Structure 1
């Protein structure tokens, strides 16, 4: 595709009259994030019925989530590099169209290989969405509100997990799993219209200005942020992926839904607090969030047998985790720009997959009580890095954002 010349595409964030957040376009980006998570995780809520319809085992049906996550992680760097010069809205519309087609094919397909192929395509589209949303949000907002714009955009992630997946599961029980995927396809199609009407076009990076994405690792602060991402996400997913086994081992099997609801509410509270303060207090919030998660994991190592302390730990965990997406994405973009975003997508999804794998090994070798110990061992160095990386990765004052910004 050709790159649209910047003179023909005004940048709203550079206009002096733009002192407020453009809510409608940002909500369209929020919905894109929502659909990225919903498309990925929706099979989890209807796995037995989906497996039966496709004539495969539940384990094989579960790989529809695995192939999506792997495709997202592996494709982030090459796809972002290959589409760096594409106009941004056109690229986002292409990704959302892929969600729509993949969900529609999943809704009507009786072929397991065909379903898996389109799940893979959807995972690649998710890499495009995750790598581009933060840059888009920053371009839409004035510099002093860019952190808040990122928080609003990324709120689609916890909303999908806390509302979208349970609702999809409920509808699947009522009307069948295929209708659920059909509705996801319809929402994606409507989202395309919304994006086209409300989100302005921005240029990609001019071809002559491309830089290797991996070169961002040499920028001050990027490696420290990525290490924090890896430790944070790995620790979270070891606990969260196997939370049912952990709760069962502590006599809380009858309260799984309540525990997850409490975690979800705490995470949403954290999202709102982060959104309100991230532009002025990124360092403080990151130290507080990682510290709360460490304290929660420490409590779960020895106090999970008591319902009160377990719920308290779950609340602290949710408060520590909910804002992590916004904080870490803001930090890596401040340090490494949009190339840093591509590295974060790869690191984040690899750590998600690693959490499931490492947690499975820990479960088979040491039992479910080992999960919080693993989280503690991961979060101690993460907290040390966050506190120590005060110059570039997590500075007290965020760097200025003057001048034109190109998204990749």
Structure 2
């Protein structure tokens, strides 16, 4: 009995077997079937060629030039660190040498004075002469020792481990914040004050129990220092200065991650400061007042005021700027409108504070607490909603991507390295894997 065509409702007898799909088809449907395969193959071939074109476009280093910039910055900073240590040790050698000379010079001057005084005396005692002889002999011995003294330097080789620079691949469009409510590490902070944090590529700086703590990427505390300057409102990292910047209520300080030394920035006048951020060239400080101002300071060669950005250019007279964060030649502002009780995030250019985009945040009521934000990769943003225990994930075009619930009220949020999100709350600092 002849086999019918495999096409539904076709009553024709099959004339050919397709060796691709193993179906028997009539002459008419076999031609259509064969043509459809050819069309599909052509379509797939076009798509694969498109992949090839896209792959070729990726070779222009757009995706890796930022890594080169970071490596160049690390190399330059390392050279500067070596140069600083070299200059310090050169100065130390010179100082110790001159200290030795000065000590002997003082003794020579002292002995010359004694001899001059004795020469002017009419009655010189033998005891005075003997004492002078002893002093001269002692000085001669010291001079002999000085002339035979050399400076020996013990230099340990500079060891650079491969793990000092870690290379990680991050998919910037697929941050996984679905499990954001479950931190993988928690640091208890029982004090009820805000807990600002700041990070560089290696360390996280945090305020806890009236101390500044430095945490490494393994989340282990490695250094700490007492903080005697009152409540901290914000902090940030300056790669240009290679220092953390810590903002108290009225004064601003530099923190050296190596020595944990605290130095007040004398060129910044006392004001009611609220938030801070750094670009490659400038430090920005915002004030806590209606019609907030943002002060721009140069970083090099010294920290000096450049300009004050005022209302109504950056906000209206009845608005507060609650946070400022720089990223890739832009600065994000979170703004609270006290008159209409609305909140929004704006993105502006660093150069002239030109408007780029704005997004109204669905947060009702007053905003006494922080409305902090942080930058993510690919120029995305995260905003903390303290009162409703939520996080707003915003795309790089200013559109809302997702709103995540959080089990506690998020206060400060910081991206630590490529894949650790740090969220401080009323009683803890929480760490989340992205």
User: Which category describes the TM-score, using the shorter chain as reference length?
Assistant: under 0.3
TM score, norm. by length of structure 2 = 0.20
Q: Which has the higher strand share?
A: 2
Q: Which has the higher contact order (CA 8 A, sep 6+)?
A: 1
Structure whose CA Rg is larger: 2
State the TM-score, normalizing by the size of structure 1.
0.21
